[in-house]
Amino acid sequence: MSANASRLHAIQQISQRQPIAVEKTDFLGNIWAQDVFNLKTMEWALSKTAFKAIKKTAQTGEPLDAATADVVAAAMKEWAIGKGAKFFSHIFYPMTNITAEKHDGFIITNSDGGAITDFSGSLLIKGEPDGSSFPNGSLRMTNAARGYTAWDPTSPAYIMHTDNGATLMIPSVFMSWTGEALDKKIPLLRSNAAMDKAAQKVLRLMGETDVSTLNSSCGAEQEYFLVDTNFANSRPDLLLAGRTLFGAPPAKGQEFDDHYFGAIPARVQVFMQDYEDQLYKLGIPAKTHHNEVAPGQFEIAPYFEAANVAADHQQLMMTLMKSTAKKHGFMCLLHEKPFAGINGSGKHVNWSVGNSTQGNLLDPGSTPHENLLFLLFCGAVIRGVHLYGPLLRAVIASASNDHRLGANEAPPAILSVYLGDQLEKVFTDIKEGNITQTIVGGEMDLGLSQILNFERDPGDRNRTSPFAFTGNRFEFRAVGSSQSVSGPLVAMNTMLADSLDWISSKLEPALEAHGNQAEAVVAVLKELMTEHGNVVFGGDGYSADWHEKAVTERGLKNIPTTADALPALREDSVVQLFERTGVLNPVELESRFEVYAEQYVLSIEVEAKLVIDIAKTSIYPAALDYLSILTSTGAGLAEMGVKLENSTAKTVANNTNSMMKAVESLSSALTKHDFGSTEEHMQFCANDIRPLMDEVRSYADALEADVADELWPLPKYQEMLFIK
C-alpha cells in the first residue's frame, strides 16, 4: 500500500475505532497506594524500632544504620514477592529528562543447586551501573566508568506492573566513583537541605522556637497531546523528534476556543481513567484532568507533594502516560511544540515552602506575625528571581522549549515576578517605608438568588507571567512539558536559600537597631525592594512595550534561545551560588553545561537530518507525481484545442525547486564542524541551522496546500488533531 493510500486508510480505520475495554474502576480507597512500600505499609511490616528509625529518616533525613537497612530490605522483599515481583531495580534520574533502571533478580542458587531468594540491606542500599554510558559532561570516561546508585529512603519504593510481570522499583541517587552527582536527584536533595538551613535561621531570628524540618513542595500541571498511532507511525518526525517538522495549518485550529474544558472524547476519557487508576495504585495524587486549549491537547494535574517525591512521581507519570497511551492506540506527545501555529505544552510548576510547625510560609497568615514571616519569604523569592533570572531561564532551556517561550501562548523569555495588585501594593508601600492593612478580595455577588455568593480572591491571575504568585505559592509557568521538574526546583530552592541567608544577615542587626520586629522587617524589605523591585511586573508580558522596557529601563534580560541561556551556568555569580550553598561544586555545574549544550546541538542536528530525509524521500516524490499529472492533463487538453493557464503547475514547480535548493543549503550547513567553542556551535544551530529548516518547511507546507490530497504522503494537521 502506498504512503498516501495508507494515510487515507488510517483515517477510515480510526473513525471506526472504539475505546478499548478496561477493568472497571475500583473505589479509590481500595486501590490507593496499594503498590507502594510507604510508611503505612512499613508500620505493618517492620518492628517498632525499625519503623521508628525509617520514619525519622524519611521525614527528617536522619541517617539510617546498616542493621535497620537489613530489616527494611527483608520486609521489602517479602512484600514485593507477595505482589508477584521476581526482580528489583534501583530507578534513578540521569541528566536526561527520562528515568534509568537496571533490573536484578531476587534469585540466588545454593550449594544444592536449588534457587532461593535474597535481598540484603547492602543490595538495597547500593547498585553499580556504568557511569560513562550516561550523560556526564566528561566526569566519567570509558576507562574510568564506575558509577553507583544509592537508595533514597525519603522516596518510597513501589511495584511497577507491566505485561511482562512485576518489578520492585527503588528510587535512588546516581553518582560517580569519585563522588560527583551524575543525576538530578542529588542536587535536589542538597538544595532542599540548603533551603532548610537558611530558613531555620530566619525563623529563629523571628522568635520561632519550635521549628521542624522545612521542605519545598511541588505540584506540576502536565500538558500533553494525543495522536492516534495510525497517524503517528506514518510521521517519521513524530517518531524521532517528537514534533511535526512539516505541516500546513488546517482551515480550523483553536480560534473558536471550543476545545478548552470541552467534553472529553470517549477514547481519551477511557485512557485517562485507566491511566489515573495506575497512578492511584502508586500513590500519585492525580487531581484534575481536562481538555486544554489546542485541539488534541489535554492536561493532568496532581496534588501537592514534597518536592523530592513529587519529582520522582513526575518522572513516573510521564513514563506511564506514554505506555498507557500506546495501549489505547495513541502516541502521547510531551514535546513543547509538536504542532506549529497552535498552543504548545508546558508543565506549570507550583512551588511553595513549609513545614509541620509553621505551615506554608508562602501563605499569607491570619496574624501580623505570620504575615511578617510571609513577607520575608515572599521577598526572598523576589530577590532570587531578580538576581538569578538567567539561571531560571537556563534550567528550562531546551531545543524543544525554545519553540514555546516567548510565543503568545507561553510566558516570555524575560523572567519577571507577578504578585497581584494587592501584594504588589504591599511591597510598593514597604519600599516607601509603610505596611498597609491586608485587603480582602470582597464578596462576589452576581445578583442571582440561585447562585451562592462567594469570597473573591484578592488578586487576579496573569497568564503572561513566567513566575507568578497565585495565593499561597509561586507558579513557574515557563517549564517545558517534557522536562524534569528537578532542575527548576533545584534553582528555586537554591536561590531561596541564598536570599534567606541575605535576609538573615540584614535582619539580625535590624532587630537590634529597631527593637521592634515589624520595623526591622520593613527596614530589611525596603532595602530588598529598592535593589530588586524592578523584577516585579503585573502587566502584559506579551506586549512589545514590556519587551523593550524590561531591558532598557529595568535591566532585565531577554533570553530567547537555549544557545543564549545555557552560558548562564558558567557565570561567576551562578558558580558561586551553587558552591556557597553546597548544591553543586564547579565541576558538577560545568558538567551540566556540557551535557545540556550537547543535547541542544544534537536535537537540532537530528531534526535537520529528518527535514532533509522527509523532504527528499516523501515530499519531493509526491510533488513530482502531481506535476506529472498536471502537465499530462494540460498537454491532453491542448491537443483537443483547449487552452489552459496552469498556474498551479507553475506554483508547484517553483515551490518544489525552491524546497530542494533549501535542502541543499541545509545539507551543506550540517557539514560545518570547525567551531571554536561549544557556545559558537550552539549559536550556529540557533541562528543558521534552525532558519534553514524553517525555509525548507515553508516551501513544503506550501506544496501541501496545492498537491492533490490523495497524493500527499504525510498525515495532515486536520487529521492528527481532530480525529480521535
**Domain harbouring 700, CATH code:** 1.20.120.1560
Q: Mean per-residue pLDDT for 467-476? A: 92
pLDDT at 223 over 90: yes
- Band (pLDDT 50/70/90 cuts) for residue 345 is very high
665 and 692 fall within a common domain: yes
Exposure string over 325-348, b if 16+ CB within 10 A, otherwise e: beebbbbbbbbbbbbbebbbbbbb
Contact by Cβ (8 Å): 419, 459: yes
Per-residue pLDDT, 444: 39
Q: Positive or negative, the Cα torsion across 308, 309, 313, 314? A: negative
Domain boundary at 183, 203, 232, which?
Answer: 183
Grid cell listed for 127? 547498585
Residue 149 and residue 174 in contact, taking contact as beta carbons nearer than 8 Å: yes
Summarised one tens digit per residue, pLDDT across range 485-512 is: 999 999 999 999 999 999 999 999 999 9
- The DSSP string of 69-137 is HHHHHHHHHHHHHHTTEEEEEEEE-BSSSS-EEEEEESEEE-TTS-EEE---HHHHHEE--BSTTS--T
Averaged pLDDT, 589-593: 95
Which range of residues forms the domain containing residue 137?
25-183
**Helix (H/G/I), strand (E/B), else coil: 547:** helix
pLDDT average, residue stretch 579-591: 96
pLDDT at 178: 82
CB distance 610 to 240 below 8 Å: yes
Look at residue 451 in the predicted model and tell me its pLDDT: 39
Q: What is the mean pLDDT of residues 563-568?
A: 96
DSSP-derived letter for residue 144 is B
Res 34 pLDDT > 50: yes
Residue 655 has a pLDDT of 96
Please check whether residue 12 lies inside any domain of the structure: no
| Segment (H or E) for 153 | none
pLDDT-derived band of residue 458, with 50, 70 and 90 as boundaries?
low
Residue 577 shares a structural domain with residue 631:
no
Query: Is residue 654 pLDDT above 90, yes or no?
Result: yes
Looking at the fold, whether 125 and 164 belong to one and the same domain comes out as: yes
- Give residue 430's pLDDT band: very low, low, confident or very high (50, 70, 90): confident
Q: pLDDT for 409-424, tens place per residue? A: 667 789 999 998 888 8
Cell of 455: 469570597
Same domain, 550 and 480: yes
Dig out the grid coordinates for 113 from the structure. Answer: 543447586
Indicate if 179 and 284 belong to the same structural domain.
no
User: Cα dist. 290→20, 285, 338, 340 in Å?
Assistant: 20, 16, 19, 22
Amino acid at 39: L
Q: Could you tell me if residue 66 is inside a domain? A: yes
Residues 6+ apart with CB under 8 A from 438: 364, 371, 422
Average pLDDT over residues 573-583: 97
Q: Is 1 a member of any domain?
A: no
Residue-level pLDDT at 116: 53
User: Exposed/middle/buried for 1, CB within 10 Å: 0-12, 13-18, 19+?
Assistant: exposed
pLDDT digits (tens, 9 = 90+) for 43-94: 999 999 999 999 988 888 788 888 888 899 989 999 999 999 999 999 999 8
What confidence score (pLDDT) does residue 115 get?
56
Do 246 and 171 fall within a single domain? no
Q: Looking at residue 257, what is its pLDDT?
A: 74
pLDDT at 442 over 60: no
125-143 tens-digit pLDDT? 888 777 667 766 666 555 5
Does pLDDT of 162 surpass 70? yes
Alpha-carbon distance 397 to 401, whole Å?
6
What confidence score (pLDDT) does residue 145 get?
A: 67
The rounded distance, in Å, linking the Cα atoms of 370 and 364 is 7
CATH at residue 32: 3.10.20.70
Confidence of residue 612 (pLDDT cuts 50, 70, 90): very high
Comparing 424 with 565, the larger pLDDT belongs to: 565
* Same domain as 431, residue 300: yes
- What was the pLDDT predicted at 641? 57
Location of C-alpha cell 535591566: 555
The more confident residue out of 148 and 22 is 148
Phi, psi of 439 (to 5 degrees): -105, 130
Question: Is there a domain that residue 19 lies in?
Answer: no
Does residue 51 lie in a domain region? yes
With 80 as the cut, is the pLDDT of residue 20 above it? Answer: no
Q: Assess if residue 385 is contained within a domain.
A: yes
Asked if the structure places residue 452 within a domain, the reply is no
Using the predicted structure, report yes or no on whether residue 440 has a pLDDT greater than 60. no
Q: Domain holding 408: CATH number?
A: 3.30.590.10
Residue 517 in grid coordinates = 520586629
289 vs 19, 29, 276, 328, CA distance in Å?
A: 18, 20, 10, 17
Domain boundary, last residue among 584, 617, 652: 584
Shared-domain flag, residues 297 and 275: yes
Same domain for 133 and 199?
Answer: no
Residue 248 near residue 705 (C-beta atoms within 8 A): yes
Do 195 and 179 lie in a common domain?
no
Report percent pLDDT > 90 for the chain. 61
Total number of domains in the chain = 3
Which of 183, 214, 248 corresponds to the end of one domain?
183
Do residue 417 and residue 532 come from a single domain?
Answer: yes
When pLDDT is averaged across residues 302-331 and rounded to a whole number, the result is 94
Q: What percent of the chain has a predicted confidence (pLDDT) above 70?
A: 87
Average pLDDT of span 601-621 = 97
For residues 417 and 509, membership in a common domain is answered with yes
Lowest mean pLDDT among 45-49, 338-342, 454-458: 454-458
| pLDDT (tens digit per residue) in 633-642 | 765 556 565 5
**Inside any domain, residue 606:** yes
Q: What is the mean pLDDT of residues 166-195?
A: 92
CA-to-CA dists, residue 704 to 131, 229, 536, 627, 709, angstroms: 46, 22, 45, 13, 8
C-alpha–C-alpha distance, residues 245 and 256, integer Å:
25
| Per-residue pLDDT at 439 | 47
Residue 323 makes CB contacts below 8 A (sequence gap 6+) with 162
* 468: nearest Cα among 568, 565, 349: 349
Write down the H helix ranges in 254-367: 266-281, 307-327
Give strand ranges (E) for 128-210: 147-151, 157-162, 165-176
Predicted confidence (pLDDT) per residue in 240-285, tens digit: 999 999 999 988 878 777 778 888 888 999 999 999 999 999 999 9
